[in-house]
Structure 1
């Protein structure tokens, strides 16, 4: 074969290859390849998600009121107890001795009251005797006074001698002095009565103090035996037999154990300040505990804190959360709607065995809209309508079309839009959005349902895609 023929054959093969490549690259449908989804009409439920820890709705920390050594421990961690069950005893010897001493002090004080009352009786008898003596002295003084008056009259008439007058005057003075002495005796006896009554009151006060001490000693003795204040489970046991504990009378005391109602559990979560405004008491929730990934629990919001928990306060990384308490209900089917809990509250006693401190995730169903037009969240983007109008006018000028003379504002006019595929082209539609769930967003205005919306790629949808661009769907 001649060299010329070989060259012609090679050129022919190259031409065939170039034609094939051209047909492969240029023979397909023109347009940008995009991802799409259908705008659907269905019920959409807004959720607020947060994580937290399981806690008992009712948990009581038990401390000892008295100090001493534990000589009897009736429970172990995890035991079920009933209200009134004996939990443990603290050695009572010291408190029993104190109670006996207090009772002895009461008896001593009571004997003091008896002695003081006897003294009052004796003083009152002395008063009566002194009053009788005073009465006799007064009578004698009055008699001698009358005798003196008669002798004075007789002496004035020169009937009686001066000697009789002086004798009568002397008798009167003696009687008057005796009366004054008797009156002082009465005053002294009354003073002794008042003093004795004061001793009675003092002794009675001592009795009251001794009785109060006896009651306190008796209470402390009784407090050496500690009973369950409620029915539940010993969720935490902090002491051992033989250990010494400090009573609450000394500082904060030793926490002995905790009793919790494990059939009434809650989940406390921290909800961001932007989401807590959507949460209301009674909102239903779906709870997933990490220890039971296959068992979803139902719940209801029972408490929303008014005070925030601020992390990294005073810095640019500050985060403001509000504690929200969700009461857990029985295990069952997944909760996917926003049905509210009944007014009397959700039933207690969840199926799986939950323990305080377990972690989990809560989805709170805050609001539901039936028959809503929904699209994937990523389908909704934003556009500056002023810039869109500028670009439209530039294209019109390039094509020689008339352009309006009105000025376009310098600022931004950011609006939410969705791109819909119409006849192989992207059509931009302004939309008004509503609530969202984990994957979709409600479209209140702009779509009617059934449209094919562009959902990606993200970079293309975010900045590059424009009104009228030819597109190819991912179908």
Structure 2
């Protein structure tokens, strides 16, 4: 009996294993259910293509102040954050050396002028002597050699007189340069604005730009109009155009977003890691902030074209934020919008070789691959080749190959990208959990 029980138990176990394997392999019992998938209807939506980039805030206009001459700062009239007007005295360098040089040049001018007067007298005297000798020579009273000697002396006197005049001009030019050097010890504000950066202190020595690069002493900026400068990859910058609208988020104001507009796209790229596998090519793009900010700097609200924005553009009862140079943030640039576009979720589109029914076509290059979707035809998946257009963060435009209302397989990813084949049986399941997508947008 014990042997019979062992044999019966072994047969039952084998039958259970065969039944489980047969059901899993689709030999019997539920094989007609097919692959479980999720599906969603293709719908007409408004698709906006967005390019996202990161960067920092900066003033639209900012001037770097460097001295033209070297010296010690003996007077500093501003502090960082102070507002200045055009023509205000910002600082003064010690003028002693330049004052002494000016006095030396004034003395040189006086000496050159005295020398010119002396040469003028010599020229007058030699001219008179030359005229007398010429008259005597014409009367054949003196020999030719004496006349030629008088003529040569006169020519020399004229040359010395001309040289004296040039010396006066040179001394005057040197004097003017000395005056300018002395005047440059006083540094004035080239425009009205705010001292956004101050890098020097009273008593510090600075180097002039006439000698080398020069010391950057401070920066003056117009903080009433800020912009974001972001780096956009070379693959995305071709989609960006001046005037494109943007949404700007500043890290310091996580609960706010600002309207922006693209004002400038660089022609030259910034290349990092050049010559390595990590080489990245980006193009700087500037986005003007259109919403009110930095009211203490005299800000007015600006519209898309730089004019005054309308009242409905403002956020009521919300103080304008203070955006400082260097604040980091993200920018979403709306590059293109298509209305009433037939669209499907991005994950519904995959790349397949539409002629993969033989081994030869499977060995084709990537150029033979096509974008396709799988349409749910009842309980059967049908492959459809599609032409796609722009995409946003959730949907992609289908320009050809699909009609609104057709059910398109959207998941799971493994089924869409690898498992599904044309004509394969499927079972449409409802998405589970909070990630379920709504049918309309």
TM-score normalised to structure 2 length: 0.78
* d(CA) in 2 for partners of 1:48, 1:33: 35
* d(CA) in 1 for partners of 2:271, 2:290: 30
1:358 pairs with 2:327: yes
> Which structure: larger Rg?
1
Matched with 1:52 is: 55
1:99 pairs with 2:102: yes
Deviations 1:165-211 (A, max 9, x none): xxxxxxxxxxxxxx235x65444333332222222112111111110
Q: Indicate which of 423, 426, 432 corresponds to 1:470.
A: 426
Deviations 1:133-175 (A, max 9, x none): 557x75xxxxxxxxxxxxxxxxxxxxxxxxxxxxxxxxxxxxx
Q: What displacement does 1:282 show?
A: 2.2
What pairs with 1:121-136 in structure 2 (closer than 5 Å)? 121-131=124-134
* d(CA) in 1 for partners of 2:284, 2:108: 55
Evaluate the alpha carbon distance shift between residue 44 and residue 352 of structure 1 in structure 2; reply closer, same or farther with a 3 A threshold: same
Contact 1:296 1:331 in 2 (8 A): no
What pairs with 1:32-431 in structure 2 (closer than 5 Å)? 32-131=35-134, 138=140, 179-180=141-142, 184-331=145-292, 344=305, 351-387=320-356, 389=357, 409=361, 411-412=363-364, 414-431=369-386
Q: What displacement does 1:116 show?
A: 0.9
Contact 1:327 1:346 in 2 (8 A): no
Evaluate the alpha carbon distance shift between residue 377 and residue 132 of structure 1 in structure 2; reply closer, same or farther with a 3 A threshold: closer
Evaluate the alpha carbon distance shift between residue 196 and residue 428 of structure 1 in structure 2; reply closer, same or farther with a 3 A threshold: same
Q: What displacement does 1:64 show?
A: 0.7
Residue 41 of structure 1 aligns to a residue in which SS? strand
Deviations 1:387-417 (A, max 9, x none): 3x46xxxxxxxxxxxxxxxx98554553322
Q: What displacement does 1:448 show?
A: 2.2
Q: What displacement does 1:375 show?
A: 1.4
* d(CA) in 1 for partners of 2:102, 2:78: 28
1:439 pairs with 2:394: yes
Bigger shift: residues 417-426 or 106-115:
417-426
Which structure has greater helix proportion?
A: 1
Q: Structure 1 stretches of 5 or more lacking a match?
A: 1-21, 139-178, 333-340, 391-406
Deviations 1:271-318 (A, max 9, x none): 222222222222222221212222222222222233333333333333
Contact 1:386 1:408 in 2 (8 A): no
Cα RMSD for the two superposed structures = 3.0
Contact 1:303 1:326 in 2 (8 A): yes
Report the count of equivalent residues: 383
